[in-house]
Amino acid sequence: MTAVIEYDAGNIRSVIHALERLDAGEVVLTSDPAAIRAAERVILPGVGDASVVLASLRKAGMAELVCSLTQPVLGICAGMQILCSHSEEGDVDGLGIFRTQVKRFRPDDPSLKVPHMGWNNLQAMSGPLFEGLPEPTYTYFVHSFYAEPCEDTIALCTHGVPFSAALRRRNFFGTQFHPEKSGPAGAAILANFLKI
């Protein structure tokens, strides 16, 4: 069973539909701690302001629970950013799983728009999320803040500066891009997560 954590995250339905298209077995949208702990894997979606997403997670009593999980966990977009140490968005401390800072894009080149929106390529891909995918692989991004590259980085992308397109530490994975909106490549990445 795959648990998708329910906490007013924004992109929950599109994530669930993407999993259903993969015939992922039982997918449960839940805020029940017992169901989340019992799941084979957990997805932490998130769209919008990371400080608001983090506040929603904490209000729902989910922050400590997420940090204690031992099965594979995938944070998507703001769901990844809140797993980092700190975010400039709202000047808020994250859950500290990934040891990196989340910064705002401040491109010197006026042709580089913020938010970074659309398709961009993944480079320096490593680990089970990207098994079977060519490099570069193109995925879909919508974000104004980015996680700085660090020892947990498992894929890079560039928008004025290089940033972490994906992160991993122990059983925790994160993607800055939206696999549920990234066509066949995103479906392959989600399918790989379901095998972990």
Q: Is 89 a catalytic residue?
A: no
Catalytic one of 89, 116, 159, 180: 180
CB 146 within 8 A of CB 165: no
> Which CA distances in Å does 54 have to 59, 87, 96, 157, 194?
8, 10, 12, 24, 25
* pLDDT single digits (tens) 28-76: 999 999 999 999 999 999 887 888 888 888 888 889 999 999 999 999 9
Which pLDDT score is estimated for 10?
Answer: 67
Which pLDDT score is estimated for 151?
Answer: 98
Concatenating the DSSP letter of every residue in the chain gives: -EEEEPSS-S-HHHHHHHHHHTT-S-EEEE--HHHHHHSSEEEE---S-HHHHHHHHHHTT-HHHHHH--S-EEEETHHHHTTEEEETTTTEE---SEEEEEEE---SSTTS-SSEEEEEEEBS--SGGGTT--SSEEEEEEESEEEPP-TTEEEEEEESEEEEEEEEETTEEEESS-GGGSHHHHHHHHHHHHH-
Which pLDDT score is estimated for 19?
Answer: 94
Pairing of strands 172-175, 73-76: parallel
Catalytic one of 116, 143, 159, 178: 178
Catalytic one of 77, 84, 89, 143: 77
> What is the mean pLDDT of the segment spanning 108-137?
95
Q: Is 180 a catalytic residue?
A: yes
Q: Is 150 a catalytic residue?
A: no
Q: Which CATH architecture has domain 2-195?
A: 3-Layer(aba) Sandwich (3.40)
Per-residue pLDDT for 136 more than 90? Answer: yes
* pLDDT single digits (tens) 144-153: 999 999 999 9
C-alpha–C-alpha distance, residues 172 and 98, integer Å: 8
> What is the mean pLDDT of the segment spanning 162-185?
97
Which pLDDT score is estimated for 9?
Answer: 66
Number of residues written out for the chain:
196
What are the boundaries of each domain within the chain? 2-195
| Token pair for 45 | 């979606």
Per-residue pLDDT for 25 more than 80? Answer: yes
Which pLDDT score is estimated for 108?
Answer: 86
